[in-house]
Amino acid sequence: MLYQRSSQLFAEAEKVIPGGVNSPVRAFKAVGGTPIFVKSAKGAYLYDEDGNRFIDYINSWGPMILGHAYAPVVDAVISRARLGTSFGMPTALETEIAALAVSMVPNIDKIRFVNSGTEACMSAVRLARGFTNKDKIIKFAGCYHGHSDSFLIQAGSGAITFGSPNSPGVTAGTAKDTLLAQYNDIENVADLIAANANEIAAIIVEPVAGNMGCIPPNKGFLEGLRQLCTDYGILLIFDEVMTGFRLARGGVQELYNIKADIVTFGKVIGGGLPVGAFAARAEIMNYLAPIGPVYQAGTLSGNPLAMAAGLAMLKALNEDAAVFERLAAKTAYLAAGIDKVLRANEVDFTINTVGSMISVHFDASAVVDFKTAAKGDNEIFKKFFHGMLDAGIYIAPSAYETWFITDALSYADLDFTIAAVDQVSKTF
Ligand SMILES: *Cc1c(COP(=O)(O)O)cnc(C)c1O
């Protein structure tokens, strides 16, 4: 395939945008080459500026669960735009989507809309701190909760007591309030709580991890977190920015029947427009301004175009009783097909899937946390990524990303993908 026009556009972009991209994951830094510039997308396919077509497994990093340019969402945005694009005043639409979201997700009474997943998680933590009157939070290595300062903390051997900033610009003062734990290691969490008695406001977790590849929670892990939080007066925050309205109507709380105290959303909830949200029982949400002391605000929060898109998306998911089973069946089919050809080609790999999330790690050992996720062979991944791209299949340009299955994918698309994996993995 030729990527001439994309290369040209990237060179122009680099002059005026840092790294040529508005979010680092879009760059091809981990795999080499220049990013593909998209011209349009429809259903399961992306079309780039050079006229190439790709089967898309990124789907805007999750939102396009029903495929690109999904007609009910596009129509809702267009008709809403004609009525005015922003007012900074309440609209009936906000109550409509809030009521629908609250009816779909267990254990939440009220929801507030923001503009991104980052904002949702940042606000959820502030709310948890205000509600509990405690400062520290526990997060897990390899879990991503957006780019706000408190979350940009990575593992280090000394991390059992104090995290260390992994991005310049995050102050030591901020970092010391984020304690780092290992995913799927409940003992580790219990130790951190014991060492910081009465100081922890919240544990924030991706209840199915998706930002170090897809990693399901071990049996008992989420239950253990729930119990520890209940025992120690800590709020359990499920970051369902990726999993919400994707793994089930009610997200992971419904899938595994575990109750979180605060839930955050993004991605699917906006139907492809910039939307995030956080939600909890009324007692907690009523701590927010204007009725409570915790301040949180946004000029464009609840924006009518964004709400119209989100509402159309949630309605579609709510009204299609079989959609999540259909997505899981497509994912299982793809996983089984890839498993078969990689085995036949004697490649070391592990495939993890939950619902419509799937990741292929190029290492034979089980992937259960950040350390095991990091064992994947990046040289193989680079070959895999470029081979797939040239075959007309777009997966994320990083070995640490989950692939997102959309309902727009046909079984013929999945067969085409499996055949490409077969061909590409013969060249490893
Ligand atoms: C994408 C993501 C975020 C951040 O959302 P943005 O809209 O990119 O700010 C937070 N948490 C999780 C689990 C995510 O996958």
CA 370, CA 400: separation in Å to the nearest integer? 10
Query: Measured from the CB, is residue 369 less than 6 Å from ligand 1?
Result: no
Q: Residue 239 C-alpha to ligand 1 middle, in angstroms?
A: 8
Q: Catalytic residue among 267, 400, 407, 413, which?
A: 267
Rounded to 5°, angle at Cα 298 from 294 and 299: 145
Asked if 144 is an active-site residue, the reply is yes
Query: Measured from the CB, is residue 241 less than 6 Å from ligand 1?
Result: yes
Question: Measured from the CA of 119, which atom of ligand 1 is nearest?
Answer: 9
Q: Residue 14 C-alpha to ligand 1 middle, in angstroms?
A: 25
* Dihedral pair phi/psi, residue 325, rounded to 5°: -65, -40
Query: Measured from the CB, is residue 145 less than 6 Å from ligand 1?
Result: yes
* Closest protein CA for atom 8 of ligand 1: 117
Q: Catalytic residue among 48, 56, 177, 239, which?
A: 239
Question: Measured from the CA of 276, which atom of ligand 1 is nearest?
Answer: 7
CA 241, CA 246: separation in Å to the nearest integer? 9
Question: And the tokens for 331?
Answer: 């994912």
Query: Measured from the CB, is residue 117 less than 6 Å from ligand 1?
Result: yes
Letter for the amino acid at 332? A
Question: And the tokens for 213?
Answer: 């590849």
Rounded to 5°, angle at Cα 328 from 239 and 402: 50
Contacts 24+ apart (CB under 8 A), 220-226: 220/186, 221/183, 221/184, 221/186, 222/252, 222/256, 222/258, 223/258, 224/186, 224/189, 224/190, 225/186, 225/189, 226/258, 226/259
Total residue length of the chain? 428
Question: Measured from the CA of 211, which atom of ligand 1 is nearest?
Answer: 15
Asked if 340 is an active-site residue, the reply is no
Question: Measured from the CA of 117, which atom of ligand 1 is nearest?
Answer: 5
* Tens-place pLDDT, residues 288-343: 999 999 999 999 999 999 999 999 999 999 999 899 999 999 999 999 999 999 99
Letter for the amino acid at 213? G
* Closest protein CA for atom 6 of ligand 1: 117
Phi-psi region of 346 (alpha: psi -120 to 50; beta: other; left: phi over 0): left
Segment (H or E) for 168? none
Asked if 45 is an active-site residue, the reply is no
Encode the chain (428 residues) as per-residue pLDDT tens digits: 899 999 999 999 999 999 999 998 898 888 999 999 999 999 999 999 999 999 999 999 999 999 999 999 999 999 999 999 999 999 999 999 999 999 999 999 999 999 999 999 999 999 999 999 999 999 999 999 998 999 987 633 333 444 556 778 888 888 889 999 999 999 999 999 999 989 999 999 999 999 999 999 999 999 999 999 999 999 999 999 999 999 999 999 999 999 999 999 999 999 999 999 999 999 999 999 999 999 999 999 999 999 999 999 999 999 998 999 999 999 999 999 999 999 999 999 999 999 999 999 999 999 999 999 989 898 999 999 999 999 999 999 988 899 999 999 999 999 999 999 999 999 99
Question: And the tokens for 113?
Answer: 């809309």
Helical axes 411-425 vs 323-344, angle rounded to 10°: 20
**Ligand 1 pocket test: which of 208, 237, 242, 400 has the largest number of ligand atoms within 8 Å of its C-beta?**
242
